[in-house]
Amino acid sequence: MSLKFNEIIGFYPYLKPGVGEGTMVITKDGREIFQAKSIKSFRREVLWYYFVDFKALRSQAKNLGEPVPLIVGRRIFVPFKFRKRLFPGDFCYAYFSLDEIMFCGGKKAMLRLNCGKSFYLACSTKTATSSLIRAKVLRQEISLRE
């Protein structure tokens, strides 16, 4: 099955037994598709597909704080700490489309997407909310430039 980049609404790090580190991709219809590549490699592939220079994006958005939301086409993907680090250098952030996030909150930070999927995050609700705010501020800045 070929993956259509315009159908992606989120992706997160996933350890698959027997395969190792990979990326689970969520599509608009709620399907989860495993990609046998690290989340950093998958992120690089998505950004390359949309001709986005990640280093330039980071330098332009550094005043918003880290981690930086991704601008992918006309969408913005919000980074959230998805799990605890399993080993040094483990990239434990997931990215979800700002337009697809239906709910973010709860005692233990939880994210609910329009497709019906829910995920618990490895950060506080306050941290998750500030990631959402950073993404919304970035979207506002982009719309003012157009």
pLDDT tens-place string over residues 22-76: 999 999 999 999 999 999 999 999 999 888 888 887 777 777 777 888 888 889 9
Supply the range of the domain harboring residue 64: 5-145
Q: Is the pLDDT of residue 1 over 60?
A: no
- The CATH number linked to 70 is 2.40.50
Phi-psi region of 75 (alpha: psi -120 to 50; beta: other; left: phi over 0): beta
Split into its structural domains, the chain has a count of 1
Q: How far apart are alpha carbons 15 and 24 in whole angstroms?
A: 9
